[in-house]
Amino acid sequence: MTSTPISGPVAQKGKKLDTTKVRQAHVTGWILLGLAVLAAVVFGAGSEGTATFRLSRPNDPWALPDLLIPAAAFNYLVAAVLAFLGVRQFLRGGLRWTSLSLGLGMALAVAAFLVWATAGKGFSLTGMLQATVVAAVPITLGGLAGVLSERVGVVNIAIEGMLLAGAFTGALLGSLVGGIGGLVAAVVIGGMFGFILAALVVTYRVDQIIAGVVINLFVLGVTSYVSSQVYSEHRFLNNAPIFSPIRIPVLADLPVLGPMLFQQNLFVYGAIVMVAVATYYLFHTRMGLRARSVGEHPRAADTLGINVYRTRYINVTVAGMVAGFGGAWFTLGSVGRFDENMTNGLGYIGLAAMIFGRWHPVGALMAALIFGFANSLQQKLALLNTPIPSEFLAMAPYIATIVLVAGVVGRARAPAADGEAYVKE
Q: Tens of pLDDT along 54-86?
A: 888 777 778 788 889 999 999 999 999 999 999
Instruction: Find how far residue 62's CA is from the centre of its chain.
Output: 31
Q: Tens of pLDDT along 256-280?
A: 888 899 999 999 999 999 999 999 9
| pLDDT averaged over every residue in the chain | 87
Report whether pLDDT(99) > 60. yes
Q: Which of 36, 99, 87, 196 is nearest to 412 (CA)?
A: 99
Q: How are beta strands 246-247 and 67-70 bridged, if at all?
A: unpaired
- Spell out a b/e string for 104-134, using b for 16 or more CB atoms within 10 Å of the CB, else e: ebbebbbbbbbbbbbbeeebbbbbbbbbbbb
The whole-number pLDDT of residue 294 equals 96
Instruction: Identify the three-state secondary structure at position 398.
Output: helix
* Poorest-pLDDT segment among 6-15, 154-163, 251-260: 6-15
The whole-number pLDDT of residue 407 equals 53
- State how far the Cα of 392 lies from the Cα of 389, in Å rounded to an integer: 6
Burial of residue 290 (CB within 10 Å: 0-12, 13-18, 19+) is middle
pTM: 0.88
Report CA dihedral (259, 261, 267, 273) to the nearest 10 degrees.
Answer: -170
**Stretch 187-203: mean pLDDT, rounded?**
97
Helix, strand, coil in percent for the chain, rounding step 5:
70, 5, 25
The answer to whether 28 and 410 are in contact (CB under 8 A) is no
Return all residues near 152 (Cβ < 8 A) that are at least 6 apart.
291, 292, 294, 295, 311, 312, 315, 316, 415
pLDDT band at 1 (very low <50, low <70, confident <90, very high): very low
DSSP H or E segment with residue 281: helix 266-284
The answer to whether 380 and 127 are in contact (CB under 8 A) is yes
**131-405: what fold?**
ABC transporter involved in vitamin B12 uptake, BtuC (1.10.3470)
Would you kindly state where each structural domain of the chain is located, as residue ranges? 17-120, 131-405
